[in-house]
Structures are given as C-alpha cells and as structure tokens.
Amino acid sequence: MRKWRFVVTGGGTGGHIYPALAIAQGLKRRLPQAEIFYLGTAEGLEADLVPKAGFPFYAIEAAGLKRHLTLRNLKALFRAFRGLGAAYRLLGHLSPRVVIGTGGYVAGPVVLAAWLRGIPVLIHEQNAFPGLTNRLLSRLAQVTALTFPEAARYLPRRARVVVTGLPVREEILNVCREEARKQMGLKEGDKLLLSFGGSRGASRINEAVKELIRYFRDKEGIYLFHATGQGHYESFLKELEAEGIDLGSRPNIKIFPYFYYIADYLAAADLVICRAGAATLAELTCLGRPAILIPYPYATGRHQDYNARALADKGAAVVIEDAELTGERLLSEVKRLLASPAELSRMAEESRRLGKPEALNLLVDLVIRLARG
C-alpha cells in the first residue's frame, strides 16, 4: 500500500474538529500506511482534542477578519498572513496528496496555501447555512461536500458540490448501548439523562439543568450526567455548593467539564438535552437517541433552528426555544417524556431513521479518489 500523506484542518469548536477527526480516522482505517497531519491553532479546542486522538498536530496562526478596517482587524490581517506563510511552508515540507478542510478560521490559510501549491482540496460544510470560511474556500476546492443540500444555494456557482451528510466518528458509529450501560453500572429500567451545551458548553443550559439536579437528586433509578463546558465547570460546582447541594452523596448525578469519550454516554442515554449543532445532531441520529434541543439563537443565519427543526418535524426531538428556556420548563418536558416510554421509543426510532452513518465512507471515498488524481 502506498504511503500517502494527508493534511486535515478545521478548528475552533468541536463542530468543525470532530468531522475532521472522523475523516482522518476513516482514512487511517482504509489506508493504514497513510500519514495524517492536523493543522490547527494553539488556542482552539483542536489543540486539546487532536493529540488525544493520536494525530500529529501543528499549530499555525489564524484570525477571523471583519468587513471594516480597524486596528484590531489590521492585526488580524497580519496574523492571517503569518498563518498563510506557516501553512505554505508546512505543506511544502509534508507534501500531502490531499488537504481536507472542515471550516473555522484556521481552514482559511491552510486551504489557500494548498491551492497556491496546487494540492487538491476537499472541504466539508456541516451546516445548512455555510460559514464564511467555507463560502470563500469553496471557490478553491476540488470538492465541496455538504451535510444539507440547501447549503449549495449560498455557495458560489463554480463550487463543485457533493451531498454526503456529516461524517460521524467510528467510535460513535460502533458503540454498543448495552455494553456502555453495563460499564456505567446502569440497571435495566434505570433512566439516563445526558445534558450538555455545544462543545464549549452553554450557560443557559447549565442554569436550567440546575433545576433537574434539584429535582432528580433524590430520585431512585434516574441518572443525570451533565457537561458544563470547560470554562463553566468551577463556577457551576461552586453555585451548587452555595445552594447546599453536595454531589458527593448523590451517585446518580455526575457533573463533568467535558465528555472526552462521549460515544458511551450518548449510546447509554435515554434522553439527551443539548444545543442543535450539526455534529451533535448527526451523532444523535446515527445512534437513534431522542432529544430535547435548545437551538443556540445567535448561530450564523440561525442555522441551529434549521438543524433542530429537521429532527423535530419528524418527531425525533422536542424543541425548546432559548428565549423560553427555564429550569421549570425543561423539568416539565423531561418529566413528561420520562412518563411516556412509548413516546420516547417512537422518538428514538424516528431519530435513527434520520441518521446517515454512510457519510463517513462517502467522504473517505471522495478523498481517496482525489488522492489518486
């Protein structure tokens, strides 16, 4: 087998990083000899997640540019140029067959450098409303892979578009629910509620989840595992402590800063409460998990509303608008669903029907085709 090299880039939030890691892992499984390198920024979540996933990581500079000229923007422009120079040199050194970009600021300089060097590029857009980086980069890419066909409307006409769905990590595609529940000590009939914001947490969801903690902390057979997001963890625990809630004595409630191995938690959950980022929803539907979704209202073009609707319209999820989110509202929705196992299993079935586990293989095929020229 040929020892091809690939460069993967995409960063800032988990929503860009995990699809990139999924493709990297899929490529590695298909081409075990291949070498795969990840280019990201030192400040993004990728600097933490990529080394944990076992891929060599190179940090370059990148910055988001605004339309108007300010001193800050000039500095950003300067960093972007430095990032472009670093990416250009690294690509020269690594000489990959293909560069794969999944959006976020950092994909800008890396894909541009690939184009300057004549290296084929595939980009993947996760949302129905494409981010600025991918809108610009789709002009330079040999292939622009989409999760939603609707995204094509916002791309330049010369973009070469393929609809693949969103690539989900193999560890999530292959996880076994029974095994995961057993490992967590859950008995048959126990209910696991899993809650988190997006990859960076969400203070609005943290606040509402406190009501679930107050209510469920002394309920037998109901478990609640919540990730606050790295930045909110300490303050969240302090606030609970100030209320006199001692979690040490409550084995059914567990608070994490972040779920590093979310596959088991997602698979084991009976109901998931989260935002409506595209990667999370692709994972929920591949696993067929029912959810209460609270779309982040400030996402570009309100794309999380669109993502959430796609599940809610088919009966796979219930949506609570962020503006209407309170602890009481969330608790009453959770209680209603837990009291209706038939509805939960119907939601689970509809959710699974929406899953596109084949997206990963489609993307790996496309990358290999590009690599072959």
Ligand X SMILES: CC(=O)N[C@H]1[C@@H](OP(=O)(O)OP(=O)(O)OC[C@H]2O[C@@H](n3ccc(=O)[nH]c3=O)[C@H](O)[C@@H]2O)O[C@H](CO)[C@@H](O)[C@@H]1O
Q: Which residues contact ligand X by CB under 6 A?
A: 13-16, 18, 126-127, 196, 198-199, 227, 258-259, 262, 277-280, 283, 296, 299, 303-304
Rounded to a whole number of angstroms, the minimum distance from the CB of residue 253 to ligand X is 16
Confirm or deny that 15 is annotated as ligand binding.
yes
Distance CA 138, CA 152 (A): 10
Distance CA 40, CA 18 (A): 13
State the distance between the two ends of the chain, measured CA to CA, in whole angstroms: 16
Q: Which is nearer to ligand X, 4 or 196 (CB)?
A: 196
Q: Which is nearer to ligand X, 24 or 86 (CB)?
A: 24
**Cβ atoms of residues 24 and 35 within 8 Å:** no
Q: Which is nearer to ligand X, 83 or 167 (CB)?
A: 167
326: number of CA atoms within 13 Å, CB side? 4
Task: Give which of 31, 84, 15 is closest to 6, Cα–Cα.
Answer: 31
- Residue located via tokens 């100030």: 242
Confirm or deny that 304 is annotated as ligand binding.
yes
Q: Which is nearer to ligand X, 153 or 372 (CB)?
A: 153
Confirm or deny that 289 is annotated as ligand binding.
no
Token representation of residue 315 = 């009966």
Q: Which is nearer to ligand X, 96 or 201 (CB)?
A: 201
Rounded to a whole number of angstroms, the minimum distance from the CB of residue 321 to ligand X is 15
Q: Which is nearer to ligand X, 230 or 361 (CB)?
A: 230
Q: 233 by DSSP, 3-state: which?
A: helix
Rounded to a whole number of angstroms, the minimum distance from the CB of residue 372 to ligand X is 29
Q: Which is nearer to ligand X, 119 or 274 (CB)?
A: 274
Confirm or deny that 26 is annotated as ligand binding.
no
Rounded to a whole number of angstroms, the minimum distance from the CB of residue 229 to ligand X is 7
Angle among Cα 193, 199, 200 to the nearest 5 degrees reads 105
Cα torsion angle, 90, 94, 98, 104, sign:
negative
Token representation of residue 84 = 């472009």
Task: Give which of 48, 53, 63, 100 is closest to 364, Cα–Cα.
Answer: 100
Confirm or deny that 199 is annotated as ligand binding.
yes
**Cβ atoms of residues 14 and 49 within 8 Å:** yes
Rounded to a whole number of angstroms, the minimum distance from the CB of residue 63 to ligand X is 17
Helix, strand, coil percent values for the chain (each to nearest 5): 50, 15, 35
Residue type, 283: E
Rounded to a whole number of angstroms, the minimum distance from the CB of residue 142 to ligand X is 21
Confirm or deny that 300 is annotated as ligand binding.
no
Buried b (16+ CB within 10 A) or exposed e, 81-106: eebbebbbebbeebebbbbbbbbbbb
Rounded to a whole number of angstroms, the minimum distance from the CB of residue 125 to ligand X is 8
Confirm or deny that 13 is annotated as ligand binding.
yes
Query: Which residues are known binding-site members for UDP-N-acetyl-alpha-D-glucosamine?
Result: 13-15, 127, 169, 199, 304
Query: Which residues are known binding-site members?
Result: 13-15, 127, 169, 199, 304
